Every structure is written in structure tokens, then in C-alpha cells.
Chain A
Amino acid sequence: MTATTRRERRGTIAGLILLLLAWEAAGQGGWVAGGALPAPSQIALRAWLDRGDYPAHILGTLRTATAGFVVGSLLAFVLGVAYTRWPRLQRAMSGVDVTIFAMPAIAIVPILIIALPGDAPRVVLSALSVYYPAMVAVVLGLRQADPRLLDLVRVHGGGAVAALRWVRLRGGLPTLLSGLRVAAPAAVLGSLLAEFGSGSSAGLGTYLIGSLGRADPARLWGIGLAATALSALAYLAVGLVAARFAGDTVPASTPVGTAAGQAAGEVRGWVARSMPLLAFLLPFALWEAGTWALRLTDVSEIVFRDPAGVLAHLIWDEGAARNRGDIAAALAQTLPFALAGVALGLAVAFALAIVSLLWPPLGATLLPLSLVTQSMPLVALTPLVVLIFGRDTGGILAITVSVTFFPAFVTIAQGLALVPPGLRDLISAWGGGRGIWLRRVAIPWATPYLCAALRLAAPRALLGVMIAEWLATGTGLGNLLNEARGRMDYGTIWSVAVVSVSVAVALHTAAASLERRVLRRFAFAS
């Protein structure tokens, strides 16, 4: 260990201790939000008193999250292999994939709960949360294969299967496993959200809904930190398995900055021209098929809608004009905040990435805090957010930033970590300081990654605003969804779900096209 890293590690430890002490003092003194932020010691004491409750709930969440993780990653693996073999399939499926990625969980949980029995909604939401990041990593890993090795297989008469078997799987394993590692915490959060809604059998989400009425922030933080710990353990456990299979070549995380997950390979002619249309239509076809599957079960016609049913609700049913008006008015409230939230979320992510790069101990101190914001269920943090930021613009933006900044931060930090060290030496050799290096090297270098971060953050920002509307402000699409549930107005519920997914997909597509343009301009396109 060099002297620098030892000094940095000491700095990080000191930073973490300082952070913990400040939190303790703020909690004890009731400085934050009139005492709504509990001190770490109060949280620990409460957790000790509740120790009899935790094992069953942790096991419950672990059970459905594990099942969801296995289902989601198997699906990701099978489709990822198929996409690598047949790039056209990936183009055709791109609409479905982006829909799964951009789907706001709060819109689909009530639908999953009514359509599926028992614990199935927990497993399905968890699998859906895992699928997209895992699939991106599988495709990226398999495509990364060394072309010379592929040629070698071909020279020896091997086909695509042999290439997959001998080269792609082996070469891609580290990336693939690191993708699964990033996806593991998503499985925990997916299960928890569905538990919260269904309140059925044991799980941390069930414990949370029962505990909300106690006005006991220490309990809520205890549950949230248990969820965080579970996510971190999932991350580490998959990491350990990965290290066992792939040795120490596992990259730190998936290089999402390379426009991964977008289909490669040239397709020409009418097939190519019809692909976008197919990609657009396929999600609707699957939706229609799902509706038919539901019809074969006992789920009531009153609770589900097929594409025609949503169109009817919005266009030709009695009262369609009012239905359209309701949704348009709600969207007009939600969308500006989503756009502002993306911008602010990216700014925070970028600032954090720069801070982590220039002052590593400070970055390492802030990282655990960032992780907590990712796995703490937001409903447990709502009182704190509304007490600090209010129930207007401030509260909405705070929640939206907390939902968007983390994946953006990871992506930008990866980009900055790849800045060739020689450039830094060059700047300092010419007498330039950190400011010059930042302006002339780091920011231009990070631009493509910033675009990738934008693509990841945009759909999440819409989700963040909807959560804030649901929890804090009572406005916009998030509120409309909830009120419609009170009226059992499934036409509106499905319409809001469709509109929010469409807007999220549109934001994602716009960001992806911007990214492609930037990548071309900076000559990073492969």
C-alpha cells in the first residue's frame, strides 16, 4: 500500500466517524426537522428492542427477492444470448426492454397485486427490476469478445455456438457478473415495494406499513437501514460469487457509458425500415396477450384494460374528453418537474463525481450516505423531506434528485476514472492546476458519460416526481393515480400507467438519440 492510499484511507475513516458523530449530535439535539431525524444510537436501541420482529421479515424479503433475482437474471441471460446471436431480435424487442426499464413501479404494483396470487407480485416486481441492468451487462459482456479469438474459432470451423461456448461466455463473464452484482440490490427494493402495497406475509415492506402509524422515526430508519444492509449484502454476495468464477478480473461496475444495451450490427433494406415500427408495436402486442391470459383466469374484466380499452377511455367512451382533460392537466403539472429534476439530478451527480475524484476521502465518506438514499424506502423518509423541503417545489425536487442522482453518479464517476493519467501530468507539467484540468480535460472527457447518465436518469426522474406527488404534494399524475384507485376507476389507472410509461420511454429515447449524436461527435462510436 502506498503512502497516498494509506493517507486516503485514514481520511475516509476519519470522515465517516465525523459524519456519524454529526448525525448523532443532530439527532440528540433535535436540530434537523424538529427532531424527525433520529440519532444512530436511538435507531440502534429501537432495533435492539425490536430484535424479535426482524428475522422473519428479513427472511421474507430475502426469499422473494432471491426468487425474483434468479428469475430476472435467467431471463436476462437467455434473452441476452439470443440478442447477441440475432441482433435483429434485440432491435425488435428494444421497445419492450425500454418499457420494462422505464415502468414506474407505483403504477404497476396495484395491477400486479390484483392479477397475481400470493407472493407472486413480489417476485415479479423484483424480477422486472433486475432484468434490464442484467440484460445490458450480458449483451455487453458477450459482445466484448476479442475479435482475434472469434476469428480463431471460425478458422477451426466453429460456428456461432462454438464462439459463444469458447470465447464469448468466457471473455464476457466478468462484465456479465458485475452486471448481476449491480442488479442484486434492485431485487431487494422491488420485493419491498410490492410487500408494502400488499401487506401480506412477512417482509420488511409489510413491517414498514405496520410501523408507519407509530410516529416512530427510529423504527422506520431501522427498517430502512435493514433494507440497505440487505441490498449491500446482495451486492457483496454476488460479488463474491463473481470473484470465484471470474477471478480478480471483475470490473468495478458495468461500463454503461458505452451506449450498451443498444443493438449493434447493420441491418439493411425493408427489414431495417420496419424495425422501429415493430419495436413500437411489440409492447402493445405483449400487453394484449397478457390481457388474454388474464381473461382465462378469474381476474374481473372491471380491473383490467387492453390497448383498445385504454383508447376507448381516452377517445370514444362517454366522458372521454373529461378523462383526457384530467390526464393532460396532471401531466402538465408533472412534466416540468421531471425535466427540472433530471437537470438537477445530473448536476448533483456530476458535482459528487468531481468531489470524489479531487478529494477521494470526501467522496468515500459521502458514498454510504448516497447508498442509504437508494435503498431507504422513500415513504419512510417522507416526514423528513416535507419537514425540511416543504410540500411544494422543494419537496418534489428533493425526492426527484434522490431518485435520479445515484445511477448518474456511478456512470459519470466511471467516465472520470478512465481519464488517462498522462493528461493530468501533462497539465501539471505546463503549470496548470485542478481548475484547468477540470475545464480542459475532465469535463470534455466526461461528456459522453454525462449523456449516458442522462439516459438512465430521465425515466427515473418521472418516477421520482410521481412518488413525490403521491407522498407529499397531492398533485399531478402521482395523485391522479391514487385518487383513481379510491374511485376504482381502472380506466384512469391504466391510462395513467400507459401515459407515464410512454413519457418515460420518450424521455429515454430522446436522451439515447442525443447520446448517439455526442458519441459520434467525440468519435467514440464503435
Chain B
Amino acid sequence: MTLFRRHALLAGAAAGLAAASPSARAQGLRALTLQAAWINDAEFMGYYVAMEKGWYQAEGLDLKYLPGGPDVIPEASVLSKKADVALSTVETVINAITTQRAPLVIIGAQYQKNPIGIVSLASKPIRTPAEMIGKTIAVPPVNRLTVEAMLKLNGIDKSRVRIVPYAYDPTPLLKGEIDASLDFTTNVPYTIKSKGQDAVSFLLADFKLPLFNDVVVVTRDTLARRRADLVGFLRASRKGWDENFKDPAAYPPKYMETWFKGTGRSLDNEIYFNRAQAALMQHPKGVFALTPEAIQGCMDALNEVGIKAAQEHFDTSLLAEI
């Protein structure tokens, strides 16, 4: 069996995940696979809208969408060619480039301002990093370094805060077993409100850690070989996001029986999320913008905490071609 045939078989074994569907091939579309960072929710609305509207097809692309999960590492997905494009956190991407020599490059940023923040109850509010001292904070283990970095940047010794694992369930916070948790501020306050309490939160971005989130990452190889397709992907996705933000309540109901079916989350929750994220994503230069100032701010923060970010980790030229 030739190596090529083996790859074709593997692609087939992936239930056609990576291979173009017959009808797509008939239309001359090129397959492009997107690895999302988490399970299907409002965080990825723009891509769902662009798919529904046929905007990827208009760019000659047959977009396949892979949801993420707690054990899915998006960078690993593109490195292993399971996906061509991934959404991930800027600190893990640049850490992988600098310490593992991963051939990755960032071509856009979905969130200009990272939605990640420290969420506490209004009855026991934590409004600044200084107020975290002596408290117990639940942090997903994969984000622990980010929180420790934020503490360091704000002059707080990490030993003065008790960090415990966060398993994505706000119950211990609601019951007062922990004082705060690190989560998407676009999401958890909804849950807390639905349980009859009020939430207080602050963004890490507002306390000396101005990082992008859900950066669009590809391998250097994909960038070289499929530049036009990547520009097409960014263009269609931006259109999808712009359409979505015209009315954040318009599209989530349409996907309750498709993208959001069986995820266990409610429509109200998705609409809340979609509204809350608009301000964190929209930018005068358009969604995904990578301005020199924002890149500089991101690099400075990363360098402060020992991740040696550099200009070459970002390629802003594709956005210029949209």
C-alpha cells in the first residue's frame, strides 16, 4: 500500500471528517477543516452562520467543523493534520512555538479581549487581583499558568492565593466552598443568575494581561500552501460574525435543533453569551484584527511571564488581503 493510499483510508475511517463530501467535490470545493476550542456553544456562532449562509462555499471551501472538549488540544489537531485551522489560546500556541519548536503561526484573533476572568458572588465580591489574597480560587488546570502570570504581573505572590482545580461546575462557588472561579465571563454569570444569585467578575485583560483568545492558528506549511484558502476562510468567517452581531438574539434559536442539539445548554444561555461577547470581539478594523498595538501589548504581557513571544509568531498579512 502506498503512503498516499494509507492516508486516504485513514481519512475515510474518520467518517469523512477530513475528506470532501462527494457533492462538494462535484462543485470543485476544497476541503478545509476547523478545530474549535470547545464544545458547540455561542463562542463559535460566526462559523455556524457563515456555514448556513454558504459563505465558505462562495470562497471555494467545503468547511468541516470539529468541536473541541477538555482533552482536545487544538494545536495538536493542526500539528497532526486532523485539522487545517484551529482556534486556541495565544499563550499555549506561543509556548508551543518557543519551547516545542511547533511550526505554528497566528493569522487572526477572534477575541480582541480575552473573555476569561475571575467570577465571584456579589454577596462575597472579588473585584481586583488584590482581593484574591487569602481566598480559594478554582482554576481549570490548563489555565493555572495564566492565572499565576496575572498574579505575578499585579505584584501578588502566588502562595497567598489557594488555587484548586475547576471542573467546569459552578456548584462549589454557589455553595461557598470556593470564593471564585476562573471561567468565561460571557457564560458563568448567566448560570449564577439563573440560580438566584448575582455575579461579580473582572477580566484578566483589565489587570495587565491583555491577551487575545481563540487565536486562529495554522501550521507554517498550511500557510505556505493554502494562503488563498485561509484568506477566504477569514473573509467568510468575518462575514458570519458580522451577520451574527447584527442581532445577537437572532441566530441562536435557529441552531437549537442542529449545532446546539443535545449539548445540554439552554437557548437563553447562548443568547446571553452571544450578547456578552460582542464587545470583546468587535473592532474598528473588523473581527479577527491583529493591530500592531494589540500584538505589542500581548507580547509584552507574555514576555513578562517568561513566554518569549515575538512578532514573527503573528502573520497579519492575510487580514490585509480580506
User: Which A positions have Cβ atoms within 8 angstroms of B?
Assistant: 33-36, 50, 53, 56-57, 109-110, 113-115, 117-120, 196-200, 202, 206-215, 217, 219-220, 296-300, 302-303, 379, 382-383, 386-387, 391, 470-474, 479, 482-483, 485-490
Is B17 a contact of A117 with CB atoms below 8 Å? yes
Is A196 a contact of B175 with CB atoms below 8 Å? no
User: Is B228 an interface residue, CB under 8 A from the partner?
Assistant: no
Bound complex: CA A448 to CA B137 (Å): 46
Is B165 a contact of A34 with CB atoms below 8 Å? no
Bound complex: CA A212 to CA B172 (Å): 12
Bound complex: CA A57 to CA B68 (Å): 17
The 7 A-B pairs with the shortest beta carbon distances in the complex, nearest first, are A199-B69, A197-B71, A482-B141, A486-B142, A117-B14, A300-B79, A211-B264
Bound complex: CA A198 to CA B76 (Å): 13
Is A298 a contact of B39 with CB atoms below 8 Å? no
Bound complex: CA A200 to CA B252 (Å): 20
Residue-by-residue, is B130-145 near A (CB-CB < 8 Å gives 1, otherwise 0)?
Answer: 0000000000011111
Most buried by A among B13, B82, B92, B145: B82
Indicate which residue in A199, A474, A486, A488 contacts B39 across the interface (CB closer than 8 Å): A199
Is A213 a contact of B76 with CB atoms below 8 Å? no
Chain A residues whose CB sits within 8 angstroms of the CB of B262 once the complex forms: 53, 56-57, 202, 206-207, 210
Indicate which residue in B18, B77, B165, B171 contacts A472 across the interface (CB closer than 8 Å): B165
Is B92 a contact of A488 with CB atoms below 8 Å? yes
Is A383 a contact of B171 with CB atoms below 8 Å? yes
Bound complex: CA A211 to CA B39 (Å): 11
- Could you name 11 residue pairs across A and B whose Cβ atoms are closer than 8 Å? A36-B175, A109-B71, A119-B15, A120-B13, A209-B39, A209-B69, A215-B192, A302-B79, A379-B169, A386-B172, A487-B99
Other A-B contacts than A206-B263, A387-B172, 5 sampled, CB-CB below 8 A, are A53-B264, A199-B70, A212-B167, A213-B187, A483-B141
CB distance from B41 to the nearest CB of A (A): 8
Q: Are A490 and B100 CB-contacts (below 8 A) given A199-B69, A206-B39, A298-B80?
A: yes
Is B141 a contact of A199 with CB atoms below 8 Å? no
Q: Are A488 and B172 CB-contacts (below 8 A) given A298-B7, A300-B80, A470-B165?
A: no
Q: Are A215 and B171 CB-contacts (below 8 A) given A118-B14, A210-B39?
A: yes
Chain B residues whose CB sits within 8 angstroms of the CB of A383 once the complex forms: 169, 171-172, 175, 177
Chain B residues whose CB sits within 8 angstroms of the CB of A215 once the complex forms: 169-171, 173-174, 191-192, 195
Q: Are A485 and B73 CB-contacts (below 8 A) given A199-B39, A210-B264, A479-B165?
A: yes
Is B175 a contact of A470 with CB atoms below 8 Å? no
Is A34 a contact of B175 with CB atoms below 8 Å? yes
Chain B residues whose CB sits within 8 angstroms of the CB of A214 once the complex forms: 191, 264-266, 269
Chain A residues whose CB sits within 8 angstroms of the CB of B263 once the complex forms: 206-207, 210
Chain A residues whose CB sits within 8 angstroms of the CB of B73 once the complex forms: 110, 114, 303, 485, 488
User: Is B168 an interface residue, CB under 8 A from the partner?
Assistant: yes
Bound complex: CA A376 to CA B75 (Å): 31
User: Is B81 an interface residue, CB under 8 A from the partner?
Assistant: yes
Bound complex: CA A299 to CA B10 (Å): 12
User: Which B positions have Cβ atoms within 8 angstroms of A?
Assistant: 3, 6-7, 10, 13-15, 17-18, 38-39, 66-73, 75-77, 79-82, 92, 95-96, 99-102, 141-145, 163-165, 167-177, 183, 187-188, 191-192, 195, 261-266, 269
Q: Are A482 and B80 CB-contacts (below 8 A) given A196-B70, A214-B264?
A: no
Indicate which residue in A113, A296, A387 contacts B175 across the interface (CB closer than 8 Å): A387
Bound complex: CA A36 to CA B73 (Å): 31
Q: Are A471 and B167 CB-contacts (below 8 A) given A206-B39, A387-B177, A488-B92?
A: yes
B183 nearest in chain A by CB position:
A213
Bound complex: CA A296 to CA B171 (Å): 45
CB distance from B158 to the nearest CB of A (A): 12
Q: Are A33 and B13 CB-contacts (below 8 A) given A213-B191, A214-B191, A473-B165?
A: no
B96 nearest in chain A by CB position:
A488
Chain A residues whose CB sits within 8 angstroms of the CB of B80 once the complex forms: 114-115, 298-300, 303
Is B168 a contact of A196 with CB atoms below 8 Å? no
Is B17 a contact of A118 with CB atoms below 8 Å? yes
Indicate which residue in A34, A120, A199, A212 contacts B68 across the interface (CB closer than 8 Å): A199
Is A210 a contact of B265 with CB atoms below 8 Å? yes
Bound complex: CA A197 to CA B176 (Å): 27
Q: Are A199 and B72 CB-contacts (below 8 A) given A117-B10, A302-B102?
A: yes
Is A474 a contact of B13 with CB atoms below 8 Å? no
Is A473 a contact of B141 with CB atoms below 8 Å? no
A55 nearest in chain B by CB position:
B262
Bound complex: CA A57 to CA B38 (Å): 18
Is B177 a contact of A386 with CB atoms below 8 Å? yes
B175 nearest in chain A by CB position:
A34
CB distance from A494 to the nearest CB of B (A): 13
Bound complex: CA A110 to CA B101 (Å): 20
Bound complex: CA A118 to CA B163 (Å): 34
Is A117 a contact of B13 with CB atoms below 8 Å? yes
Most buried by A among B75, B165, B192: B165
Is B171 a contact of A197 with CB atoms below 8 Å? no
Is A36 a contact of B171 with CB atoms below 8 Å? yes
CB distance from A508 to the nearest CB of B (A): 26
Chain A residues whose CB sits within 8 angstroms of the CB of B100 once the complex forms: 302, 488-490
Is A209 a contact of B168 with CB atoms below 8 Å? yes
Chain B residues whose CB sits within 8 angstroms of the CB of A110 once the complex forms: 71, 73
Bound complex: CA A303 to CA B95 (Å): 14
Bound complex: CA A113 to CA B14 (Å): 12
Is A207 a contact of B264 with CB atoms below 8 Å? yes
